[in-house]
Structure 1
C-alpha cells in the first residue's frame, strides 16, 4: 500500500512541476494591441442547425473593429431549422457576409470539415483565415487581437480555448474540469514550443495563415477527423510552422449543457476517437485515471498512518492545481476537492464512448454517424 501511495504522490508532483505548467490559467493574448501591418482576414463558419446562436455570432463578427479588408463566410451545412435564412437576411444588409449553401456530404468527409473546405474556396485572397464555430461570440477587438498576436510572434496558427458557458450545475461540475483535462493532455507551453511534438488547437478560435493552409492543402488531409482542431494543429506544426494556444478573454461560447446527459454526450462523442478506437489505450486510460484520482481519495478515506497522509496530501495537491481554472470560471474553491468524483464521471463517459462505438453509434454529431478512421 505504501508503494502505491508513493507512486500517486510522485505522479502528481511530476504533473505539478514538470508537465508544462498545464494547470496555469494562461497564457492569454495581450489586450489593446493592433496589427503591425495590413492583413486581409476571412472568417469561415460551418453551421448546421444553429438557429439558436447564429444571429448573435454573425452580428458580433460584423461589428469587429478591424480596419483592414474583412469578410465573413458562413457555410450552411444543409440546416433544417432556418439557420441559412437567418444568415441570408443579415447578408442582405451587409455585403461583407457571404452565405454558402453546402453541397451534399461526400464519402470520406466529416460534415464540419466538408463545410470548412467549401468556405475556404471563397477566401483565397485572405492573408489569414479565422475558423470559428457557429456558437462563438467574439468581442469587437478580438480579430485585431488575434492578427496582432500572429504577426508579433510570427505564428501561423493562433488558437484559443474560448470561455465556455458555466452556469448550470452540470456545467459547473464538468466544464472547468474539461479545460483542466484538455490542458493536461496538451500543455499549452509545449504547443508553442517548436522542439516539442505536442500539437493542439481549440476549434472555437483558430486563426491560420494562408501560407500554412496552402502548405497543408487546406483541410483535405484531415477530412475524416472528428477531433479536427487538434488534427489541424498537428498538420500545421508538422510542416514546421509556429503555433500558439492559450485561454481566450474575448471569445465566449453560447453552447448550453443544461443536463448531465448533455455533458455525457459531449464527452462520449469523441473520447474513444481520442483513444484511436484502441481497447488497450482505453484500458490504460481507465487504469491511469483510477491511479491519479480514485486511489488518492481511497487512501485518504480508508487507510491510516503514512498512506492516509500521502493520499490526503495528493488530494489536496490536485485540488490546488485545479484552482487557477476554477478562478477563471468564477467557481468556488471547494470544487477542487470534487475533482476525483468529476474525473470518475469523465472516465465513465469515456467507457460509454467505447460502448457506443461497438454498438455502431460512435462518432455521432448533428444527426450523422461517422465510421472509424
Structure 2
C-alpha cells in the first residue's frame, strides 16, 4: 500500500506541474488581440429533434456582429418541429440562413458527422482572420441538476490532465491537439486536406478527433477560453448526461477492453482510494493519502479556475465524481457489449463497424 500511495503522489506531482505549465498557455478570448476581418464565415450547425432549443440558437447566431456570414442549418432526420422552425427562419432570412433537410442516413456514417459534412458541401468558405488553420475555445456549460454539475466539474478536471488541451497551442509539436464540439472554426482548405468528415465518418468523438487530426497533419491551431462569449447547455439531467457520455467514453478508449480496465482501475486507485485510506487507513498511510489528496485537489482547483466559472469548492466532490465516471465507463462497456454497438439519437451503430472504421482512419 505504501508503494501504491507513493506512486499516486508521484503521478499527481507530475500532473500538477504539467497542468500548471500548460494552463498558462491558454488565454481568454478577450485577451487575444482583435483584428478586423471581412472574410466570409459559414456557420454550420446540425440539429436532430431540437425543437426546444433551435429557435433560440438561430436567434443568437443571427444577431452576431461579424460581417459577412451565413448560417447553414442542417435538420438531421428530426421527428419533431425542428425542421419547421429552421424553415421559418430560412424563409424570413433568405440571405442569411440556408436550410438543409436530411431524410436518410447513409451507411458508414454517424448522424451528426454526416449532417455537418452535408452542410460543408454548400458553404462558400470557412476562414478565421489569424494565421491559424483551426481555432476552438472552451465555453460555459450550462446545466440545472446538482449531480450533473458535479459531473461537469470532474469532466473538466479529467479533460485537463488526460487530454492536455494546451497541446493545441504548441506550434513546435504535431502531437495532441484539441477540438470542442460547441465551437470549431477552420479554413476550408484545411478541412479538405484532412479528408473532411469522410475520414472519420463513424467517430462519436468527432469534435476532439477533428482537432487532433488537424494537429497531427502539421497545421497550426489555437485553443482559448470563451466562457464570457459563448454558453451551451450540457445535458438537462444526470441520466441524459450518462447516456450521452456512453457514446464518447468507450470511443475515447478506442473500444478497447484493456484500456477500459486501465481507465477504471487507474481512476479508482488515483482518485478514490486515497480518500478511502485517509478515512480508514493507518496513520502513516493516512499521511501519504493526505499528500495525494492535496495534490489532486490543487490541480482540480487550478483547472476549474482556468477553464470554467464554477466555484473551486466543487473540488471537494472529487471522489463522488470519480465514482460516477467509473460507473459511466462500466455501464457503457456493458451496454455496448450486450447490444453489440451503441445507439445514439435513434440510430444503432454496430461495434464491428465502429472499430473497423476507426482502424481505417489510422491507416
TM-score, normalised relative to structure 2:
0.89
Q: Is the 8 A contact 1:29 1:248 kept in 2?
A: yes
| Deviation, structure 1 residue 262 | 2.1
Structure 1 349/103 Cα, relative in aligned 2: closer, same or farther at 3 Å? same
**Structure 2 SS opposite 1:244:** strand
| Deviation, structure 1 residue 220 | 1.0
2:217 to 226, 229, 239: 239
What residue is the counterpart of 1:122 in the other structure? Answer: 122
- Which aligned pairs between 1:6-155 and structure 2 lie closer than 5 A? 6-19=6-19, 21=21, 26-30=26-30, 34-67=34-67, 69-95=68-94, 96-123=96-123, 125-128=124-127, 147-148=128-129, 151=130, 154-155=131-132
Query: Deviation string for 1:96-126 (max 9, x for gaps)?
Result: 1000111411100110111111101111x31
| Deviation, structure 1 residue 370 | 1.2
Structure 1 264/22 Cα, relative in aligned 2: closer, same or farther at 3 Å? farther
| Deviation, structure 1 residue 200 | 2.2
What residue is the counterpart of 2:339 in the other structure? Answer: 360
What residue is the counterpart of 1:202 in the other structure? Answer: 180
Structure 1 226/87 Cα, relative in aligned 2: closer, same or farther at 3 Å? same
2:326 to 342, 347, 355: 347
Structure 1 333/36 Cα, relative in aligned 2: closer, same or farther at 3 Å? closer
| Deviation, structure 1 residue 37 | 3.8
Is structure 2 residue 271 aligned with structure 1 residue 281? no
Is structure 2 residue 161 aligned with structure 1 residue 184? yes
Is structure 2 residue 314 aligned with structure 1 residue 335? yes
- Which aligned pairs between 1:161-310 and structure 2 lie closer than 5 A? 161-194=138-171, 195-249=173-227, 250-258=229-237, 260-310=238-288
**Structure 2 SS opposite 1:369:** strand
Quick one: distance in 1 between partners of 2:272 and 2:23? 19
**Structure 1 SS opposite 2:139:** strand
Identify which range, 327-336 or 85-94, moves more after superposition: 327-336
Query: Deviation string for 1:137-188 (max 9, x for gaps)?
Result: xxxxxxxxxx35xx1xx21111122211143212221112112211222212
Quick one: distance in 2 between partners of 1:38 and 1:23? 31
Quick one: distance in 2 between partners of 1:361 and 1:52? 32
Quick one: distance in 2 between partners of 1:61 and 1:205? 12
Structure 1 120/103 Cα, relative in aligned 2: closer, same or farther at 3 Å? farther
Structure 1 215/333 Cα, relative in aligned 2: closer, same or farther at 3 Å? closer
**Structure 2 SS opposite 1:30:** helix
Name structure 1 gaps, 5 residues minimum: 129-146
Quick one: distance in 2 between partners of 1:255 and 1:289? 23
| Deviation, structure 1 residue 312 | 1.2
| Deviation, structure 1 residue 87 | 1.2
| Deviation, structure 1 residue 320 | 2.1
What residue is the counterpart of 2:358 in the other structure? Answer: none
Structure 1 285/170 Cα, relative in aligned 2: closer, same or farther at 3 Å? same
| Deviation, structure 1 residue 127 | 3.7
Work out the number of aligned pairs and report it: 348
Considering only aligned residues, what root-mean-square deviation do their CA atoms show, in Å? 2.1
Quick one: distance in 2 between partners of 1:255 and 1:4? 36
TM-score, normalised relative to structure 1:
0.87
Structure 1 333/37 Cα, relative in aligned 2: closer, same or farther at 3 Å? closer
Name structure 2 gaps, 5 residues minimum: 355-363
2:298 to 320, 330, 337: 320
Structure 1 336/348 Cα, relative in aligned 2: closer, same or farther at 3 Å? same
**Structure 1 SS opposite 2:136:** strand
